Amino acid sequence: MKTAFVTGGSGFVGRNLIPLLLEKGYVVKALARSEKSAGQIRQLGAISVQGDLQDLQALQTGMTGCTVVFHLAASINMWASEQELWADHVTGTENVLQAAKQAQVNRCIYLSTAMVVLNGKPIVDADERLQSDNLVDGYSRTKLAAEQRFLQANSETMQTVVIRPPIIWGKGDTSTLPQFVEAAQKGQLMFIGGGNHLFVTSHIRNLCHALLLAGESTVGGEVFFVTDGEKLQFKRFVKDYLATQGITVPDRSVPLPIAKGTAELLAWFWRTFKRPGAPPFYPSMIHTVGLPYTLSDAKIRRQLGFQNVVTVEEGLREMSEYR
């Protein structure tokens, strides 16, 4: 019987991947660092394994008998420093790989992020060969370092694959949507340079389909972008996304040079005076939402046979029904 181990099982991606794995006939075990997470995992139909990414014994125990590991767990904090995120993203990933090797797991799939290629310049139809020379935030740096650990661990006995989605969205979104909603409610949501630039997204169902394909393939040592296969106007998508929740967004815009300067000034002020939380604007945010950002996922379509299971229009319709 096929058995999978999942880290981050109670997160947005994990809550969608686990049911898909169960539907495909897998027995699923998932790491849970709290009783609340354990309860959510059990409700999904998976077996909870108490522990966290720093608990090597729990990881190895959970992975024993598994043929594939899906490493989804991450700290979704784009403002945190590299030092703050290193333990979760890099040391945690090293522990996952060590435990998988000891448990003789055949395949390990890592959920990274397309943010590892952002460089403060327009990105147009980039493929996996693009390497950033200007990563400005700890989140991207530590995710890239974790990627490198994964690829270095690829071998004949344990194949590793890295999946890089851009902005993840969809029904039950607990990361992207709440940030947009909060900014809109505070009157802080402004489109940079008019917001007419193109970007790409990854619907949660499309992403989970890609993760499953990676887990069942025989490919190793590879990195794949995965998108919804549609180039979207940023402003139009954000307006449509928030409209599914009954929120109307005014056409407020700020020129790109002013947005960049403001973000750098606020970042300096927050760090210098140790302000709590994150500033309303900071450099990596501008890199993510203020510039053209389109990616080619031709590689995963060619090598793994990936096809989108839901369109952007269908995903937005689901969001409206979910409200």
The per-residue pLDDT for 178 is 85
Beta strands in the chain (DSSP E): 3-7, 27-32, 47-50, 68-71, 107-111, 123-126, 159-164, 167-169, 191-192, 198-199, 201-203, 222-225, 232-233, 253-254, 293-295
Residues tagged active-site: 139
11: tokens are 């997160």
Low-confidence stretches of the chain (pLDDT beneath 50):
none
Please indicate, yes or no, if residue 95 is contained in any of the structural domains: yes
Domain CATH number, residue 135: 3.40.50.720
Query: Model confidence over 211-240: pLDDT tens digits?
Result: 999 999 999 999 999 999 999 999 999 999
Please indicate, yes or no, if residue 122 is contained in any of the structural domains: yes
Decide if 228 contacts 166 (C-beta within 8 A): no
The per-residue pLDDT for 200 is 98
Q: What is the pTM of this model?
A: 0.96
**Residues paired with residue 3 on neighbouring β-strands, in sequence order:** 27
The per-residue pLDDT for 323 is 64
Please indicate, yes or no, if residue 138 is contained in any of the structural domains: yes
Residue 111 in 3-state DSSP?
strand
How far apart CA 204 and CA 239 sit, in angstroms, is 19
Query: Model confidence over 110-147: pLDDT tens digits?
Result: 999 999 999 999 999 999 999 999 998 999 999 999 99
Residue 204 C-beta-side C-alpha neighbours within 13 Å:
24
Please indicate, yes or no, if residue 135 is contained in any of the structural domains: yes
Please indicate, yes or no, if residue 239 is contained in any of the structural domains: no
The per-residue pLDDT for 135 is 93
Q: How far is CA 108 from the centre of its chain?
A: 16
Amino acid at site 12:
F
Please indicate, yes or no, if residue 139 is contained in any of the structural domains: yes
Please indicate, yes or no, if residue 215 is contained in any of the structural domains: yes
Residue 114 in 3-state DSSP?
helix
The per-residue pLDDT for 116 is 97
Please indicate, yes or no, if residue 291 is contained in any of the structural domains: no
User: Which residue range is the domain that position 220 belongs to?
Assistant: 3-171+203-227+296-310
Query: First vs last Cα of the chain: how many Å apart?
Result: 38
The per-residue pLDDT for 175 is 83
Domain count, the chain: 1
The C-alpha torsion from 38 through 44 and 49 to 51, rounded to 10°, is -50
